[in-house]
Amino acid sequence: MDKQKYHILKNNKISSVFLKRDVVYDLIIPSSSYFIESVPTLLMNDGQDYEQLELETLARNHYQNGGEAFVFVGIHTNENRLKEYGTSNIPDYKGRGSLATAYMNFIVSELLISLRNNYPIIVNFSKTGFCGFSLGGLSAIDIAWENPHLFSKVGVFSGSFWWRDKAYEDGYQDDIDRIMHNKIRNSEHKKGLKFWFECGTNDETADRNNNGIIDAIEDTLDLISELRKKNYSDEDITYVEVKGGEHNFGTWKKVFPNFLEWFLKN
């Protein structure tokens, strides 16, 4: 690894008052000789899966090819994942996501502040992104949407946009019961946010309305439609559909380099 250009700092810990636990996170950070001013910072949910994404190889190749300096923050989750990830202030119909507001507060009021106090290059909110996979992707876009003054870009891989406040058997309807869609529908345009979405054609087989489009893709496309209604343009939204792509890190690691390039250049 090119130690002159970046460092990998694993298993850092921060004690969270909001989550009432220690949170582990990994860092990839440029060496002090490689940057002049603040650099883009990317937060990622499910940081415990760092190795499945082969991020150390990605970082090495990125820097060896003359890529722009950046900071990566991989935030580990634990057995509370189904409680901490989700949509802030609105748990789903099973009560999942009950700690999502606490998790958002941890990110905004504890983690970001700690990072910026300890690493002065992480100071430019206009260069800060958040990404995640599946339920972690839903969490990432929710936190960025609620805090557009702190984040400029969001990446969602196979996002759990089915997250709903009513069960199918209780009369669920697409138009009114998907939580993240409703959040966007009932909000104003959040200036400065840009979005990157990925779905695989084999993310799942479920097709609740039997229209020939799997739910993962339909839910994502419907969310994009809600963003367009809020005056986000083609320049603000990138959608990548992977033919044969599955709901796993085998697919996500293949497209992650493209996402990182988008994050750094757009």
Chain segment 155-181, per-residue pLDDT in tens: 999 999 999 999 999 999 988 999 999
Is residue 105 helix, strand or coil? Answer: helix
Task: Say what the pLDDT of residue 1 is.
Answer: 40
Task: Say what the pLDDT of residue 35 is.
Answer: 60
36 pLDDT higher than 60: no
Task: Say what the pLDDT of residue 146 is.
Answer: 98
76 pLDDT higher than 60: yes
Tokens of 152: 């400029």
Compute the average pLDDT of residues 14-41.
87
2 pLDDT higher than 50: no
- The DSSP H or E segment spanning 246 is strand 237-246
253 pLDDT higher than 90: yes
Task: Say what the pLDDT of residue 4 is.
Answer: 64
Task: Say what the pLDDT of residue 114 is.
Answer: 93
Task: Say what the pLDDT of residue 188 is.
Answer: 96
- Chain mean pLDDT for the chain: 93
Q: Do 82 and 46 form a contact (C-beta atoms < 8 A)?
A: no
Nearest to 197 by CA among 185, 180, 173, 178: 180
Task: Say what the pLDDT of residue 128 is.
Answer: 93
Q: How many CB atoms lie within 10 A of CB 2?
A: 12
Q: Do 222 and 182 form a contact (C-beta atoms < 8 A)?
A: no
- The DSSP H or E segment spanning 8 is strand 6-16
Compute the average pLDDT of residues 64-90.
95
Compute the average pLDDT of residues 10-29.
96
The most confident of the ranges 2-11, 110-119, 166-175, 229-238 is 229-238
Task: Say what the pLDDT of residue 119 is.
Answer: 82
Q: How many Å apart are CA 103 and CA 97, to the nearest integer? A: 9
Is residue 85 helix, strand or coil? Answer: coil
Work out whether strand 194-202 and strand 6-16 pair parallel, antiparallel, or are unpaired.
unpaired
Assigned CATH topology for domain 6-265: Rossmann fold (3.40.50)
Domain ranges of the chain: 6-265
Alpha helices in 178-266 (DSSP H): 179-185, 215-229, 249-265
Q: How many Å apart are CA 80 and CA 123, to the nearest integer? A: 30
Residue that has been written with the tokens 């983690």 in this structure: 111
Q: With bands split at pLDDT 50, 70 and 90, how would you rate the model's confidence at 123? A: low
